[in-house]
Amino acid sequence: MTTGAPTAEGASAASAAGGWDRLVGQDRAVALLQRAAERPVHAYLLVGARGSGVEDAARCFAAALVAPADDRVADLALRGMHPDIVEFEPEGTGFRVNEDVRQRIIPEASRSPVEGARKVVVLYEADRLSANAAVSANALLKTIEEPPPRTVMLLVTATPDELPETVRSRCQRVDLAPLSDAVIRDALARDGIDPDRAALGASLAGGQLGRARALVGPMAEVRHAFVSAAAHLDGRAGTAVAAAESIAEVLKATVSALEDRQSVESEALLEELERAGYPDRSRAALVKRLDERHKREHRAARRRALAEGIAALETVYRDALAGPGAPARNVDRTVLVMPPTQAAAALDACRFARESLERNPNEGLLLERLLVHLPPANAS
């Protein structure tokens, strides 16, 4: 068994299997995870922003832990459907100590694998274990430190420093690095994206390829709705309210696309379970788990789309603050002209909206309040 780092040629060949080829520009992280899968320890901390490929990395790694070099397992894992790879993410501002940690996560970690010799419990947004004064993190600490012998705990986060040191010190850490604009442009070009859109996606993505793909794909209309609203504000409340209503319709359409994908996913799972011959009890448990995941995804989808829209506004006002002579992030838009004090105030309004979003507010009111507090476009 190899214990040294794979050669470049070997790593390239290995990464083409099991979905690793999705992790563009992450050769170091892939090599570390592939080597770790050969002789795993009890817990890992995978660090990367949403859109960095960290979700794919978690699922590829989990598949390698459960059944390396098995295309069927890799396919199920990448779709979040494998019975021995159980994923959790917070439904609100954090993981709840009783409903989430004690009643769901810890019992799941203790259950035997369904198919193989190992199971993986994945916690997305693991930093939110600290949302309730780290009570949830402390309740899970023993399971992270000493899970059952056949269980591996995998914590995924963009902000590892928000986790208590007691949790971080019990995990082996692997980081996904931000990508250069050039790497992102090349990857988008291979996806068939034209050069102008690829340049825009790379400019806005903050080094995260998945986010770039979203911004030139399913999130393109969300971004367009927000930045167009900023360009047409005139200081009147009626204009802001109308813009908020228009944005709400775009957000609704974005979630509808998710519902269509979920319907296809549910049908695919039923067909897979039928082919694999799962017993009725296991089949019912997997269907229930997918249904619960779909409900969580649905609740999170609007929040993430809204957060992406707020982020789009922030780039607009950063461009305005930098001025028309500076390199713009929104390379497809004319930079708004306004006094620096107004651009700074707009960024404060965006920050307030982002912080409010964490508290699960009424989204319609949040949108209206945000747009009402933004300055008129091209005010000198």
- The lowest-confidence range among 39-53, 186-200, 275-289, 304-318 is 275-289
Query: Tens digits of per-residue pLDDT, 324-360?
Result: 889 999 999 999 999 999 999 999 999 999 999 888 7
Question: For position 17, what pLDDT does the model report?
Answer: 58
Q: Which domains does the chain have, with CATH numbers?
A: 8-175 (3.40.50.300), 218-372 (no CATH)
Question: For position 132, what pLDDT does the model report?
Answer: 85
Across 128-237, the runs of DSSP E, i.e. the strands, are: 151-157, 172-175
CA–CA distances in Å: residue 283 to residues 48, 67, 117, 156, 220:
33, 20, 19, 27, 37
If you average pLDDT over every residue of the chain, what do you get? Answer: 88
State the chain's maximal CA–CA distance in angstroms: 69
Q: 262 or 303: which carries more pLDDT confidence?
A: 303
Q: Which has the closest alpha carbon to 371: 310, 318, 328?
A: 310
Side chain identity at residue 337, one-letter code: V
CA–CA distances in Å: residue 189 to residues 185, 201, 203:
6, 11, 14
Mean per-residue pLDDT for 161-185? Answer: 96
Question: For position 287, what pLDDT does the model report?
Answer: 78
Mean per-residue pLDDT for 362-380? Answer: 88
Question: For position 283, what pLDDT does the model report?
Answer: 73
Q: Which residues contact 62 (CB under 8 A, 6 or more apart)?
A: 77, 82, 85, 120, 122, 152, 154
**pLDDT over threshold 70, residue 88:** yes
Question: For position 1, what pLDDT does the model report?
Answer: 31
**pLDDT over threshold 90, residue 64:** yes
Question: For position 267, what pLDDT does the model report?
Answer: 77
Q: 25 or 296: which carries more pLDDT confidence?
A: 25
Mean per-residue pLDDT for 350-374? Answer: 91
Question: For position 377, what pLDDT does the model report?
Answer: 85
Mean per-residue pLDDT for 277-293? Answer: 75
**pLDDT over threshold 70, residue 92:** yes
Question: For position 379, what pLDDT does the model report?
Answer: 55
Mean per-residue pLDDT for 274-284? Answer: 75
**pLDDT over threshold 80, residue 181:** yes
Query: Tens digits of per-residue pLDDT, 196-226?
Result: 999 999 999 999 999 999 999 989 999 999 9
